[in-house]
Amino acid sequence: MEQVNTDNTKAQMRKGVLELCILSILSQGDAYPTEIIDKLKDTKLVVVEGTLYPLLTRLKNTGLLGYRWEESTSGPPRKYYKLTEIGEQYLKELQISWEELVNAVNSTIEKGKKL
């Protein structure tokens, strides 16, 4: 049981960060999934691409993201996602709490190391 719970926590952590990363990428400008994936791949946050699609749809459905269609020269039309106003606000909150967390966690870990 304990084992299962820690695994859950890990998954939750990773997912939370992934969401933050997607929102951050989109705050730099509209992007379609492949672009987002390419950027995420550098951070090794996304191992398989399939993970992204359900997440994007869910973010869109909760109103954090919007999208528009754009023709592509080399394939099917692309779905360009962009941050909505709610999304931007949400991102700001996330960033703040992220930094707080990083500081708190880092300092805790540092203390732990010193001991």
Q: Does 14 bind other proteins (CB under 8 A)?
A: yes
- Least Cα distance to 32 among 68, 74, 84, 86 occurs for 68
Instruction: Draw the binding track, 67-96, toward other proteins (x: CB under 8 A; -: no contact).
Output: -----x-xxxxxx----------x---x--
- Greatest Cα pair distance in the chain: 59
Q: Does 47 bind other proteins (CB under 8 A)?
A: yes
Q: Are 59 and 27 in contact (CB under 8 A)?
A: no
Q: Does 16 bind other proteins (CB under 8 A)?
A: yes
- The residue count for binding other proteins (CB under 8 A) is 49
* Selected binder of other proteins within 10, 70, 85, 107 (CB under 8 A): 10
Q: How far is the CB of 62 from other proteins (least distance, A)?
A: 6
Q: Is 5 exposed, middle or buried (0-12, 13-18, 19+ CB in 10 A)?
A: exposed
What are the CB-based long-range contacts (under 8 Å, 24+) for 48-52? Answer: 51/18, 52/22
* Selected binder of other proteins within 42, 54, 71, 111 (CB under 8 A): 54
Structure tokens at 25: 């990428």
Interface residue list for other proteins (CB under 8 A)? 4, 7-17, 19, 33-34, 44-45, 47-58, 60-62, 72, 74-79, 90, 94, 97-98, 101-102, 104-105, 108-109
